[in-house]
Each structure stands twice: as C-alpha cells, then as structure tokens.
Structure 1
Amino acid sequence: MKKWIRIAGWIVVGLTSLFFVQSGIQKLAGTEQMVEMFHKLGYPDWSRVAVGWVEIAGAVLLALPRLTLYAATALGILMIGAVASEVMSGQGMGAFIPGQWLILLALIAGLRFRFYLQSK
C-alpha cells in the first residue's frame, strides 16, 4: 500500500478519534444540548454518562493500531443505536449525523480488517 494512503487513513482515524473524545466530553460534562437530546430521546441521565465514557474509550482505542478494528466496530454499534434512537423518536433528520459516522466507522473497520487479512 502506498505510504500516502496509509498516512491519509491515519489522519482520518485521528480526526474521528478527536470527534468522539469531544462528543464524549460534552456528554460527561452534561452540556445543555446533550442533556436535552437524551431527554428528547427518552433516555435517563445515566445513559448519557455511559455513552460518554464509551465514546471516550472507543476514541482512545481507535488510535491504537492493534485495536482500531475493534474500536471502530464498537463505536459503529453505538452509532447504530444512535440512528435507531433518532428514527424511533420521530426525529428522522437527527439520524443523519450518526449515520455519517456509522458509514465512516464501517469504512475504517473494513479497511483495517482487509489490512489484517493481508498481513496473515
């Protein structure tokens, strides 16, 4: 694989990781926007905190090459839940952002899995 492709890939992974750290911190800090969103979706306050911790842990693990595949898969599952929550609460357009992240995480996981298979 060409070096510039690998570098571009890790830049995407790094930026994705930064997004999830930032999002997790907002949830843990209890920003008004996050508290309101979880209440609109019908979830208790503790779920916001749990999701925040999962996002931060996933972001850290995403940046570790040996764990990128697993972290992308776990965060992707979290985004499936986010998309489903938005759609089932009647806020279909709210599913757009987690849907985008789901697609990106699926691409990251797929490429890491492909790289894993090639290294065997």
Structure 2
Amino acid sequence: MTIVSIVVQSLLVAYYVFSGSAKVAGAKYWTDMFAHLGLPQWFRVVTGFVQLLGAAALVVGYWYAGANAWAGIWLGITMLAAFFVHVNAKDPIGKSSPALVFAVLNAVVISLNASDMTNLF
C-alpha cells in the first residue's frame, strides 16, 4: 500500500464517518438538503448507513487492501448518484461538485488497490 493510498483512504474515512454519522443523527444541514432534493428522510438515514459501512470497509482496508477497492466502488457509486441528484435538482456547481470530487477520490482508491480486489483476506 502506498503513502498516497493511505492518505486518500484516511481522508475518505474521516469524511464518511463525519457525513454518515450526521445523516443518521439527523443534522439540520442534511435534513434540509434531503428535503431540498425531494428525497424522503428515511433515505437520508439509509444513505448515512451506506457511508458508515463504506468507511468501515475502508478501515478494514488498512490491513486488507482488497477491501479498499470494493469500498471505493461502493462509495463511488453513492457519490456519483449524489452528484446526479444534485444536477437533477439544478443545484449550483458549489453544491454538486463535492459529490463529484469524492467520487473521483474513490476512483483513485480503486485504481491504487484494484490489483488486490481478489485478495480480500
């Protein structure tokens, strides 16, 4: 595992733990955001758990690099979906671009760990 992979992985773990926890806890920012996007509040909670599960897989990836690539796919798809939901809601680039940036960071993790995808444990 390279230093770049560890740094990006750590950044993603921090973001997804913070964001996922805030979604599950019902932080005002996220309840307002999901209402603005026209998504039900139960979906906010599901999204939070999806992010927390992905963060847990990234933590496992410190020991088993294959888990990083699978977590990157899981979270990358989530972030691409978020980006397209923002675009569909006609949000400004400032609100849509973070999801795209995190999708790209997940793609970096995937590419750095793709060779280990068959070696989960």
TM-score calculated relative to the size of structure 1: 0.87
Tell me the residue number matched to 2:86: 86
2:10 counterpart (3, 14, 25): 14
Q: How many residues align?
A: 113
Name the structure 1 match of 2:44: 48
**1:111 positional shift:** 1.4
> Once the 2 structures are TM-superposed, how far is the Cα of residue 56 of structure 1 from its aligned partner?
0.4
What RMSD in Å do the two structures reach over aligned CA positions? 1.6
Query: What's the secondary structure of 2:85's corresponding residue?
Result: helix
Q: 1 or 2, which has the higher helix percentage?
A: 1
Q: How high is the sequence identity, in percent, across the aligned residues?
A: 28
Greater Rg by CA = 1
Runs of 4+ in 1 over 6 A off after TM superposition: none
Q: Which has the higher contact order (CA 8 A, sep 6+)?
A: 2
Counterpart residue number, 2:108:
107
Normalized against structure 2, the TM-score is what?
Answer: 0.87
Instruction: List gaps (5 residues or longer) in structure 1.
Output: none
**For 1:25 and 1:98, how far apart are their aligned partners in 2?**
17
